[in-house]
Amino acid sequence: MTIFYFVAFLSIFFALMTIFTKNPVHSVLYLVITFFTFTVHYILLNAQFLAVVNFIVYMGAIMVLFLFVLMLLNLNKDTEPMKSHLVKFMGVIAGMCLLVTFLGAFRVLETNNEFVQGHADIGLVKNLGKVLFKDFLLPFELSSILLLTAMVGAVLLAKKETRTNQNG
Amino acid sequence: METAFILEKLILVVIIFVVTLVIAMYSTLAERKIAGFMQDRYGPDRAGLFGLLQPLCDGGKFFFKEEIIPAGAHKTLFILGPTIAIITACISSAVIPWGQTLTIGDQAIKLQVADVNIGVLYIFGVIALGVYGIMLGGWASNNKFSLMGAIRAASQSISYEIAMGLSLIALLMVTGTLSIGEIVAQQSGFVNWNIWVQPLGFLIFMTCAFAECNRVPFDLPECETELVGGYHTEYSSMKLGLYMFSEYINMFVSSSLMAALYFGGYNFPFMYDLGLSENWITILGVIAFFLKIFGFIFFFMWVRWTLPRFRYDQLMNLGWKMLIPLAIANIVLTGIITIVKDTYF
């Protein structure tokens, strides 16, 4: 439990650092550390597979791409577009709404549920695979189709306009 | 028990660490010797017998060179870059099984630091992390050439990670486990090596390993003719040394990974037919494993002094339009063969 509180403190600390730091590249790096603390949380929950997937996908791929884009744009204090106060105000309201939603969702969460407590090993890759491909096959396949759709959409958006004009 | 366990693992970690560093050190010499051999010249032979002290001289020189941090550089990240590069290179060897169990007295010592059941994924994660070292170093240098090198490194490693992952999925379909220890244990003898069932997967994996290590023909992040030096243009002294060193360590780790996943790891032909005791099999297994690793390291160097460098668009075309479709085809093929084998044989 002590480890949990320590790691939770680190998560919140680095999450706050992500928001409050001025330099975008620093911000991304703090976010990387925040994701790393999430990985530690997953390991504490005995969810090895989730931990390592979080590590590979978020830290290893998505944040590298974030950093990639930031480096290409080379944002810094001088070139950063000034946001109006209205945008900031709206951001605060949206964030608070999200917080209220999360609080409401977690209040009704039953942590004493038998299913949650009785499956301590569900995070191991063998058990997780069996559950995903036997009990939750349809939702799993549907979400993979959702991801595929997003991928096709992204490729279509990134495709050069000129070629489609010539053909059509 | 607990202290003995920790002590055992600690000794193993120290041994592997030292062996990794020594191999990386002598890879630099081997590379220059092999280059010399291929270009019909001697290579370094002044320091010590056959130039054996050359790596020590290089290391000493790196330490005593002036350390320069450019005025416009971001100091913390500039130091963090090579640090991350060398740390990620060193920790990736933790899940590789170097041999079977060694029995000393009544103590059975497993020659693997951590046999986690997600070993393959762990290696993947560490490889993915390794690119941060190059990216941060390149960006923090505040130099356009370094930045170009860093961006090239990032996009290259992301592109080739996909094909690498897909080629590994086909292997995992055959082996049915993510633990490297188990994958190696399944390949006992000679006919059970995974290379016989996954030749295409191995070729894709090896190509991607070359790209992930930034080795020729995929060494575009450090393409001297275009980028002055690459992501490490502004680095001097031991920081440059650490980048170079991490490249050689990565080469060693990926060689050992290829040997373990596809070429049977510590298994060698007729290992149980010679009537040797357990310990001897283990020791011979470790030697066989290292011979395979050295073979792959030699192959890395052979390719470096044989093939020219790719152009950047060729690199991207190869990664996205050749390797990824091939890897997907390999997965489908493996799936079909597995089903046919299960139903008809």
Set of chain A residues whose Cβ sits within 8 Å of the Cβ of B117: 48, 124-126
Query: So what's the pLDDT on residue A80?
Result: 59
Query: So what's the pLDDT on residue B103?
Result: 75
> Are B125 and A64 an interchain contact pair (Cβ–Cβ within 8 Å)?
no
Domain count, chain A: 2
Q: Does B172 touch chain A (CB under 8 A)?
A: no
Is the pLDDT at B55 greater than 60? The verdict is yes
Nearest to B201 by CA among B66, B327, B342: B327
> Are A59 and B125 an interchain contact pair (Cβ–Cβ within 8 Å)?
yes
Set of chain A residues whose Cβ sits within 8 Å of the Cβ of B154: 64-65, 67-68, 71
Is residue A60 domain-shared with residue A114, that is, in the same domain?
no
The answer as to whether A134 is a domain residue is no
Q: Does B125 touch chain A (CB under 8 A)?
A: yes
Is residue A62 domain-shared with residue A94, that is, in the same domain?
no
Kindly list the distances between the CA atom of residue B143 and the CA atoms of B72, B148, B255, B333, B336, in Å, as whole numbers in the listed order: 9, 9, 33, 47, 51
The answer as to whether A129 is a domain residue is no
> Are A68 and B117 an interchain contact pair (Cβ–Cβ within 8 Å)?
no
Is residue A92 domain-shared with residue A28, that is, in the same domain?
no
Average pLDDT over every residue of B134-153: 83
What distance in Å separates the CA atoms of residue A26 and residue B184, rounded to the nearest whole number?
41
What distance in Å separates the CA atoms of residue B17 and residue B228, rounded to the nearest whole number?
33
Beta carbons of B99 and B282 less than 8 angstroms apart: yes
Q: pLDDT digit string (tens) for B220-276?
A: 777 777 777 778 788 888 888 888 888 888 889 889 888 888 888 788 777 777 777
Percent of chain B past pLDDT 90, that is, above it, reads: 1
> Are B178 and A53 an interchain contact pair (Cβ–Cβ within 8 Å)?
no
Is residue A39 domain-shared with residue A17, that is, in the same domain?
yes
Q: Does B124 touch chain A (CB under 8 A)?
A: yes
Q: Does A62 touch chain B (CB under 8 A)?
A: no
> Considering only A80-84, A120-124, A164-168, B318-322, which range has the smallest mean pLDDT?
A164-168
> Considering only A79-93, B32-46, B66-80, B326-340, which range has the smallest mean pLDDT?
A79-93
Is the pLDDT at A166 greater than 80? The verdict is no
> Are B129 and A60 an interchain contact pair (Cβ–Cβ within 8 Å)?
yes
CATH number of the domain enclosing A15: 1.20.120.1200
Q: Does A71 touch chain B (CB under 8 A)?
A: yes
Query: So what's the pLDDT on residue B332?
Result: 92
> Are A126 and B147 an interchain contact pair (Cβ–Cβ within 8 Å)?
no
Q: Does B184 touch chain A (CB under 8 A)?
A: no
Q: Which two tokens stand for residue B11?
A: 């000794």
Is the pLDDT at A81 greater than 70? The verdict is no
Query: So what's the pLDDT on residue A168?
Result: 43
The answer as to whether A156 is a domain residue is no
Is residue A20 domain-shared with residue A56, that is, in the same domain?
yes
Beta carbons of A41 and A7 less than 8 angstroms apart: yes
What DSSP letter does each residue of B87-118 carry, written as one string?
A: HHHHHGGGG---SSEEEETTEEEES-S---TT
Average pLDDT over every residue of B156-165: 86
Between chain A and chain B, the number of residue pairs with CB atoms below 8 A apart is: 67
Domain count, chain B: 1
Q: pLDDT digit string (tens) for A96-148?
A: 999 999 888 888 776 666 665 666 676 677 788 888 888 888 998 999 999 99
Is residue A43 domain-shared with residue A20, that is, in the same domain?
yes
Is residue A55 domain-shared with residue A17, that is, in the same domain?
yes
Query: So what's the pLDDT on residue A145?
Result: 93
Is residue A7 domain-shared with residue A67, that is, in the same domain?
yes
- Residue of chain A whose Cα is closest to the Cα of B133: A64
Is the pLDDT at A52 greater than 50? The verdict is yes
CB-side neighbour CA atoms (13 Å) of B111: 23
What distance in Å separates the CA atoms of residue B10 and residue B4, rounded to the nearest whole number?
10
Beta carbons of B214 and B152 less than 8 angstroms apart: no
Is residue A69 domain-shared with residue A105, that is, in the same domain?
no
Set of chain A residues whose Cβ sits within 8 Å of the Cβ of B118: 48-49, 52, 125
Q: Does A148 touch chain B (CB under 8 A)?
A: no
Set of chain B residues whose Cβ sits within 8 Å of the Cβ of A53: 121
Residue of B116, B124, B135 lying closest to A67 (CB–CB): B135
The answer as to whether A138 is a domain residue is no
What distance in Å separates the CA atoms of residue A24 and residue B9, rounded to the nearest whole number?
41
Q: How far is A159 from chain B (nearest CA, A)?
A: 15
Burial B245-281 (b: 16+ CB within 10 A, else e): bbbbbbbbbbbbbbbbbbbbbbbbeebeeeeeeeeeb
* Centroid of chain to Cα B19: 14
Which structural domain, as residue segments, surrounds residue A5? 1-76
Query: So what's the pLDDT on residue A146?
Result: 94
Interface test with A, best of B132, B134, B157 (most A CBs within 10 A): B132
- Residue of chain A whose Cα is closest to the Cα of B160: A61
What DSSP letter does each residue of B220-280 carry, written as one string?
A: GGG-HHHHTTSTTTT--HHHHHHHHHHHHHHHHHHHHHHHHHTS-TT--TTTTTS---HHH
Average pLDDT over every residue of B334-342: 87
Angle at A51 between CA A129 and CA B203, to 5 degrees: 70
Average pLDDT over every residue of B314-343: 88
Average pLDDT over every residue of A81-104: 85
The answer as to whether A29 is a domain residue is yes
The answer as to whether A95 is a domain residue is yes
Nearest to B146 by CA among B65, B224, B66: B224
Query: So what's the pLDDT on residue B261?
Result: 87
The answer as to whether A168 is a domain residue is no
Average pLDDT over every residue of B277-283: 79
Is the pLDDT at B71 greater than 70? The verdict is yes
Residue of A68, A74, A125 lying closest to B117 (CB–CB): A125
Average pLDDT over every residue of B289-300: 89
What DSSP letter does each residue of B17-75 carry, written as one string?
A: HHHHHHHHHHHHHHHHHHHHHHTTS--S-SSSGGGTTHHHHHHHHHHHSPP---TTS-H
Average pLDDT over every residue of B193-213: 86
Q: Predicted confidence band at A163 (pLDDT cuts at 50, 70, 90)?
A: low
Is residue A15 domain-shared with residue A44, that is, in the same domain?
yes
Instruction: Verify cis geometry, omega within 30 degrees of 0, for the bond prior to B70.
Output: no
Q: Which residue has the higher pLDDT, B280 or B204?
A: B204
Query: So what's the pLDDT on residue B339?
Result: 87
Which structural domain, as residue segments, surrounds residue B290? 2-344
Percent of chain A past pLDDT 90, that is, above it, reads: 13
What distance in Å separates the CA atoms of residue B85 and residue B51, rounded to the nearest whole number?
28
Tell me, what DSSP letter sits at residue B219?
-
Q: Does B154 touch chain A (CB under 8 A)?
A: yes
Positive/negative CA dihedral, B168, B169, B171, B176? positive
Beta carbons of B43 and B32 less than 8 angstroms apart: yes
Q: How far is B11 from chain A (nearest CA, A)?
A: 25
Is the pLDDT at B83 greater than 70? The verdict is yes
> Are A52 and B121 an interchain contact pair (Cβ–Cβ within 8 Å)?
yes
Q: What is the pTM of this model?
A: 0.84
Is residue A109 domain-shared with residue A52, that is, in the same domain?
no
> Considering only A115-124, B22-31, B51-60, B162-171, which range has the smallest mean pLDDT?
A115-124
Is residue A32 domain-shared with residue A65, that is, in the same domain?
yes
